[in-house]
C-alpha cells in the first residue's frame, strides 16, 4: 500500500485525537486560514522544530474536578503547580498525605514511605505491605540515582515444577504468594535518606485503617468485579463485605487488623514483620490457607539497592530500574528504534503511530529473554536493548506500508502478562525525586487477606514462567524466568526519572501490567519530545500491543471524570490500511507525571548547581488520582 499524506495536526503519534466531555464524540475542525498558516509555519521551521511543534491543532484540556464525596474531603485538580514540592499518586488522599510530610520538613523519601502506606490502605486491591515494588530515587545534592529492588521473591520451598498439577494455584490462593518486600525496601530508603521519624510516617495510614476511609470509585468498582472472590475468603469478606454486605461507593471501610500491624511496624521497625510477632502471625495465616511461606523466608528477605540504569534519547537521560524490571530496557529499545529514523516529516502523523506500534512489537519479542540477573546471564540482551546500533537493525525490519504476523518479530517465548499495581511520583523542595511502582499483582493479589494482620497477599508467583504452562500465544515458557528459591520474577513496571543537562526534568510511571511500558513511552514522547502540556500528555488516547494476539488495542472508554477517550478515525483508518487489526479497549494504564519547567536553567553558572523551576504534577484522570502541591 502507498503511504498516506499527513492529515491535519500531524505529529509523531498522530494527533489530534478524540477526548471529549459528557460522553459526546465529535471532530475538531479549524478554519482553512489557520491550516494555511500552520502549513507556512511548518515549512519555515527547521527539521527539529517541525518534529517538536507539529502538534498545533491538538486539543488542550485542563479541567478542574471536585470529588469531595469520593476523595474523603480532598478538593483538587488533575494538575497542580508549585515552586516547592509536589506528589502525584493515584489517590488524592495519599497525594495530600505525601505533601503533608514535605510540609513538615520531610525528605522526598519520607513522603514516599507515607504515600506508599496510604495507598496500601485505601487502594488495597492494587498495592500494600503484602506486596513489593521498584523505586528509583535521585539525590539533587549528589546527582546519584539509586534503584531499590523490593520485588517479591520466590519462597525457599518453591520450584519450577510446583504448579505442574494445579496451574490455577500459580495465580489464586496462598500458594501464589511471593515473599513481600515493600516494608523492607521503604525502610532501607528511609535509613539512607529519611529526616523524620519512622513512626511519624505511619501515623496517617494507621488513622485511615483504624478510623475508616471513604470507598472511592475505583475501589468500589473492583469490589463489585471481585465479589465472588471476596465472599470466598474470610479475610477479604471481613473487610470488604462486613456482615455479608458489600461495601459500595461512599461507604466507610475499616481494616482494624491492618492498623494494628502498621502500629507494630511503626513502633518496632520492619523487624516486627520480618523477624517478629506480626510476621509469625502472617506466616501462620498463609500456611493455613495453603501457602508455603516460612518465618525463615521473611528473615532472609533482602532489598537490592543498585545504581539506576540510564539511557539517553534526544538530549534527555532516562533513569530507571535494571532487570528484573523490563521497563527501562523496553523503553530504551523502542525510543532508539524511533530515533533511528532521524527527525523528518515522515516521522509525523499516523505514520509515526504505525512505527511506534511496530517498535513495541519488536521490543516485546525480545524482552522475554530477560530475568533476574542474580540467577541468569542476560548481559547480551541488556546490551542489545540499550544499543542504538541494535535498534537501527530492528528499524530496518519495519515497513511503512504494512505490519506483519507475530512470527515475523522472532519472538521465542511466551509473554509475561502481569497485572495491576499502583504508581506515584514525588519531588521535594530540594529537587530530590522519587518514582515508585508498588504492587500485589492481580486485584486483591491472590484473593486472600490474612485475618490476623489485615494484609492482602500478593500473587507475584504468577509472574514467573513455568515449564508446563500452555499459554494463549502457543509459545514455550521463558527459561530465564523459571522459578528458583529466592529469585525475583520478571516485571513490566517502569518507574523513571528524566534529566536534561543534569537537571531534573520529570518523573513518570504507571500501573497496568503489560500496558505500562507503552504508556510511559507515549507520555514521555507527548511531553518531552512533542511539547504537549503535562495534563494533555497524560490524558491523550493511547495505543497498546501485546504482540500476540496480533491486535492493536486502542483506548475507547468514558473515564471516571466523564471524559471520553478514543483514537481518532483518521488514525484508525491509516492503521487498518496497513493491515493492523484494531480493537477498542475500555481501559488502559494509569500513569502519574511530574515535570519541572527548565526555562532559564541554561543560564545557571557552575556545574553542581540545582535548578529550581516550577513543578507541575499530574495524576491520571483514568483512576481516582489527584496530585497535591506544597
Residue-wise pLDDT tens digits, 186-230: 999 999 999 999 999 999 999 999 999 999 999 999 999 999 999
- Hey, what's the cell of 423? 504508581
- Hey, what's the cell of 7? 492529515
Query: Yes or no: is domain 7-154+305-443+456-602+609-630 CATH 3.20.20.70?
Result: no
**Annotated binding site for L-glutamate: which residue ranges?**
151, 439-441, 463, 491-492, 513
The pLDDT tens digits for 100-148 are 999 999 999 999 999 999 999 999 999 999 999 999 999 999 999 999 9
pLDDT at residue 17, rounded to an integer? 52
The pLDDT tens digits for 290-308 are 999 999 999 999 999 999 9
Listed by start position, the domains of the chain span: 7-154+305-443+456-602+609-630
Lowest mean pLDDT segment, chosen from 329-333, 517-521, 597-601: 597-601
SS3 state of residue 138: strand
- Hey, what's the cell of 65? 474536578
Angle at the Cα of 246 from the Cα atoms of 240 and 248, rounded to 5 degrees: 95
SS3 state of residue 271: helix
State the chain's mean pLDDT as an integer: 88
Is residue 538 a contact partner of residue 565, using CB atoms and an 8 Å limit? Answer: no
Lowest mean pLDDT segment, chosen from 345-354, 364-373, 521-530: 345-354
Under the banding of pLDDT at 50, 70 and 90, the label for residue 533 is very high
Judge whether residue 36 has pLDDT over 80. no
Under the banding of pLDDT at 50, 70 and 90, the label for residue 434 is very high
The pLDDT tens digits for 357-403 are 999 999 999 999 999 999 999 999 999 999 999 999 999 999 999 99
Under the banding of pLDDT at 50, 70 and 90, the label for residue 420 is low
Angle at the Cα of 17 from the Cα atoms of 16 and 23, rounded to 5 degrees: 140
Give the pTM.
Answer: 0.89
Judge whether residue 12 has pLDDT over 80. no
DSSP 294: -
- Strands 316-320 and 309-313, how do they pair? antiparallel
Of the chain, the percentage scoring pLDDT greater than 70 comes to 85
Under the banding of pLDDT at 50, 70 and 90, the label for residue 173 is very high
Of the chain, the percentage scoring pLDDT greater than 90 comes to 79
Residue 576: CB atoms within 10 A of its CB come to 12
**406-418: average pLDDT:** 80
**Annotated binding site: which residue ranges?**
151, 439-441, 463, 491-492, 513
SS3 state of residue 302: coil
Judge whether residue 323 has pLDDT over 60. yes
Burial of 166 (0-12, 13-18, 19+ CB in 10 A): exposed
Judge whether residue 1 has pLDDT over 90. no
DSSP 174: G
Q: Is the peptide bond before 412 cis (omega within 30 degrees of 0)?
A: no
Q: Is the peptide bond before 44 cis (omega within 30 degrees of 0)?
A: no
Q: CA 258, CA 260: separation in Å to the nearest integer?
A: 5
pLDDT at residue 191, rounded to an integer? 98
Residue 192: CB atoms within 10 A of its CB come to 14
**604-627: average pLDDT:** 88
Only one residue has cell 542489545, namely 384
Is residue 102 a contact partner of residue 111, using CB atoms and an 8 Å limit? Answer: yes
Total length of the chain: 630
Lowest mean pLDDT segment, chosen from 82-96, 245-259, 473-487: 473-487
User: What are the residue numbers of the active site?
Assistant: 421
Smallest CA-to-CA distance from 628 within 48, 21, 69, 82 is with 82
pLDDT at residue 562, rounded to an integer? 83
SS3 state of residue 51: helix
The CA-to-CA distance between both ends of the chain, in Å, stands at: 54
Amino acid at each position: 500500500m502507498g503511504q498516506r499524506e499527513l492529515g491535519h495536526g500531524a505529529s509523531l503519534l498522530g494527533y489530534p485525537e478524540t477526548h471529549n466531555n459528557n460522553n459526546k464524540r465529535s471532530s475538531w475542525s479549524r478554519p482553512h486560514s489557520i491550516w494555511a498558516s500552520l502549513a507556512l509555519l511548518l515549512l519555515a521551521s527547521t527539521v527539529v522544530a517541525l518534529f517538536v511543534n507539529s502538534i498545533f491543532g491538538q486539543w488542550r484540556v485542563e479541567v478542574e474536578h471536585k470529588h469531595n464525596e469520593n476523595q474523603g474531603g480532598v478538593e483538587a485538580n488533575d494538575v497542580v503547580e508549585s515552586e516547592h514540592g509536589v506528589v502525584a499518586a493515584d489517590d488524592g488522599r495519599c497525594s495530600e498525605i505525601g505533601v503533608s510530610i514535605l510540609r513538615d520538613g520531610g525528605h522526598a523519601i519520607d513522603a514516599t514511605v507515607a504515600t506508599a502506606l496510604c495507598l496500601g490502605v485505601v487502594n488495597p486491591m492494587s498495592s500494600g505491605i503484602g506486596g513489593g515494588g521498584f523505586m528509583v530515587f535521585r539525590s539533587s545534592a549528589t546527582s546519584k540515582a539509586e534503584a531499590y529492588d523490593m520485588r517479591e521473591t520466590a519462597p525457599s520451598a518453591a520450584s519450577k515444577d510446583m504448579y505442574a498439577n494445579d496451574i490455577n494455584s500459580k495465580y489464586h490462593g496462598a500458594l501464589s504468594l511471593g515473599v513481600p518486600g515493600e516494608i523492607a525496601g521503604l525502610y532501607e530508603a528511609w535509613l539512607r535518606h529519611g529526616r523524620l521519624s519512622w513512626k511519624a510516617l505511619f501515623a496517617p495510614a494507621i488513622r485511615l485503617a483504624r478510623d475508616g476511609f471513604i470507598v472511592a470509585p475505583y475501589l468500589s468498582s473492583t469490589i463489585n468485579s471481585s465479589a465472588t472472590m471476596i465472599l470466598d475468603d474470610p479475610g477479604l469478606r471481613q473487610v470488604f463485605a462486613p456482615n455479608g454486605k458489600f461495601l459500595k461507593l461512599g461507604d466507610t471501610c475499616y481494616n482494624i487488623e491492618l492498623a494494628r500491624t502498621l502500629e507494630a511496624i511503626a513502633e518496632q521497625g520492619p523487624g516486627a514483620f520480618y523477624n517478629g510477632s506480626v510476621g509469625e502471625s502472617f506466616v501462620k495465616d498463609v500456611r493455613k490457607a495453603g501457602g508455603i511461606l516460612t518465618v525463615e523466608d521473611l528473615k532472609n528477605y533482602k532489598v537490592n539497592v543498585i545504581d539506576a540504569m540510564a539511557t539517553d534519547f534526544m538530549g534527555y537521560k532516562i533513569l530507571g530500574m535494571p532487570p528484573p524490571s523490563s521497563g527501562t530496557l523496553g523503553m530504551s529499545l523502542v525510543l532508539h528504534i524511533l530515533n533511528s529514523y532521524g527527525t523528518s516529516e515522515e516521522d509525523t502523523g499516523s505514520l509515526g503511530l504505525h512505527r511506534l506500534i511496530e517498535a513495541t512489537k519488536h521490543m516485546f519479542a525480545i524482552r522475554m529473554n530477560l530475568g533476574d540477573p542474580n540467577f541468569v546471564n542476560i548481559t547480551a540482551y541488556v546490551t542489545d536493548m540499550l544499543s542504538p546500533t541494535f535498534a537501527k537493525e530492528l528499524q530496518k525490519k519495519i515497513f511503512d506500508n504494512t505490519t506483519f504476523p507475530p512470527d515475523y518479530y522472532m519472538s521465542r517465548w511466551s509473554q509475561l502478562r502481569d497485572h495491576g499495581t499502583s504508581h506515584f511520583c514525588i519531588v521535594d523542595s530540594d529537587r530530590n525525586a522519587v518514582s515508585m511502582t508498588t504492587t500485589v499483582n492481580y486485584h486483591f493479589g491472590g484473593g486472600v487477606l490474612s485475618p490476623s494482620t489485615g494484609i492482602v497477599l500478593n500473587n507475584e508467583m504468577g509472574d514467573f514462567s513455568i515449564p508446563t504452562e500452555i499459554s494463549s500465544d502457543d509459545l514455550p515458557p521463558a527459561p530465564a524466568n523459571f522459578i528458583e528459591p529466592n529469585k525475583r520474577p520478571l516485571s513490566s513496571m517502569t518507574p523513571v526519572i528524566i534529566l536534561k543537562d543534569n537537571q531534573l526534568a520529570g518523573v513518570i510511571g504507571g500501573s497496568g501490567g503489560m500496558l505500562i511500558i507503552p504508556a510511559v513511552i507515549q507520555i514521555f514522547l507527548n511531553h518531552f519530545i512533542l511539547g504537549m502540556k503535562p495534563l494533555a500528555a497524560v490524558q491523550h488516547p493511547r495505543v497498546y500491543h501485546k504482540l500476540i494476539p496480533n491486535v492493536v488495542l486502542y483506548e475507547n472508554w468514558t473515564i471516571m471524570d466523564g471524559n471520553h477517550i478514543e483514537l481518532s478515525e483518521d488514525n484508525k483508518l491509516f492503521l487498518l490500511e496497513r493491515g493492523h487489526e484494531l480493537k477498542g479497549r475500555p481501559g488502559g494504564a494509569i500513569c502519574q507525571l511530574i515535570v519541572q519547567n527548565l526555562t532559564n536553567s541554561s543560564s545557571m553558572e557552575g556545574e553542581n548547581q540545582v535548578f529550581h523551576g516550577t513543578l507541575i504534577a499530574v495524576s491520571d484522570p483514568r483512576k481516582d488520582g489527584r496530585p497535591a502541591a506544597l
